[in-house]
Structure 1
């Protein structure tokens, strides 16, 4: 059976405010007809991701990988400099060079719920870096940031913390991933 790995932070892991459940897995398994391994770790940045990528992603069987980081990198309390974020994304893509990789931009937040933690202007800069890396490496890009900005009400897509995805947010993310990953899996 085909298998993909979702590599990322709490948005990938499925954090819902009390515990982690892989809320993305079932949605993608149903949509893509393949097994999904969730390699999301809440609170993680790209710096931390590089420490575990070989064991949890590179050395595992997979037909494709999604990469979604940036919400923590862009935060004020973790604060990975944008040039390091770019270098880390390039290194993640380099280590995954033998499988199809789908780069995903980090989404905006509800700023009123994220005071002192995250600002959308900063997240937009980090999303631009993902676009740049994907374009330079000719990787498929799922622009979740732009898609979320186009929505009428972020409150319907995010939990009360203004950062983590609601069920509707995960439905939207799964639909976006499906749009690109099906084609990637069929080309493999």
Structure 2
């Protein structure tokens, strides 16, 4: 098949324009990601103290500690995010442990993610809800802000957070991040097993928390 010079140049220009717009899109995407990772500006003598309090999803099970979501979040914010996660912990155990963590670190913000192990053990939702409420009240009395992370509902095959998390957030007036782990665990490439993300999964979690934390510190 014979192609004229005009048709040849038209094809070359189309390819050039396609590559140009593709590269532009990639650059814009990278710039947006870089903007999300600009360190916070704060008084170096009084930086915010951020504590991530929870179970194995906070600890980073399924990945190395260097790739837990608190570790990724520390890099994105430019301030230490203390990993106070304990694998296997229930809300009852967390409620007992919380006062010592608040006393030790005196946090500005506490990222609270508890309840998954309760559901795995068949605990009543009413018990989980009440323990979460008590933990939030304790954190608020300490002077810290609360960022509540919902836990995937075992009975809903992990597709959505258990409904009581939103109820607790509304009742206590705290910031709630919805379906954070549920969305990550829905992607095979982002999880190490049925219940835990891998390193990239925890990074995806941290990216969403990054924006929420910045809004709380404004």
Give the TM-score normalised by the residue count of structure 1. 0.80
Tell me, in whole angstroms, the C-alpha distance in 2 between the residues paired with 1:177 and 1:171: 10
1:49-82 CA-to-partner distances (Å, cap 9, x unmatched) read 011000023542211010011221111xx22210
Deviation, 1:21, is: 5.7
Residue of structure 1 in register with 2:190 after alignment: 157
The number of residues matched between the two structures is 170
Question: Which 4+ residue blocks in structure 1 deviate beyond 4 angstroms?
Answer: 19-22, 121-124
Tell me, in whole angstroms, the C-alpha distance in 1 between the residues paired with 2:71 and 2:84: 14
Task: With a CA cutoff of 8 Å and minimum separation of 6, indicate the structure with the bigger relative contact order.
Answer: 1
Cα 1:154–1:5 shift into 2, 3 Å? same
Deviation, 1:179, is: 1.6
Cα 1:156–1:39 shift into 2, 3 Å? same
1:8-157 aligned at under 5 Å gives the runs: 8-16=54-62, 23-75=68-120, 78-97=121-140, 98-107=143-152, 118-121=154-157, 124=160, 127-145=162-180, 148=183, 153-157=186-190
Deviates more, 1:52-61 or 1:94-103: 52-61
1:108-130 CA-to-partner distances (Å, cap 9, x unmatched) read 6xxxxxxxxx4435884x62111
Partner of 1:72, secondary structure, is: helix
Tell me, in whole angstroms, the C-alpha distance in 1 between the residues paired with 2:67 and 2:109: 18
1:163-182 aligned at under 5 Å gives the runs: 163-182=195-214
Tell me, in whole angstroms, the C-alpha distance in 1 between the residues paired with 2:100 and 2:125: 26
Please say if residues 107 and 148 of structure 1, whose CA atoms lie closer than 8 Å, have aligned partners that are also in contact.
Answer: no
1:23-51 CA-to-partner distances (Å, cap 9, x unmatched) read 22321111122111111000111111011
Tell me, in whole angstroms, the C-alpha distance in 2 between the residues paired with 1:146 and 1:43: 16
Tell me, in whole angstroms, the C-alpha distance in 2 between the residues paired with 1:29 and 1:55: 22
- Structure with more of its chain in helix, by fraction: 2
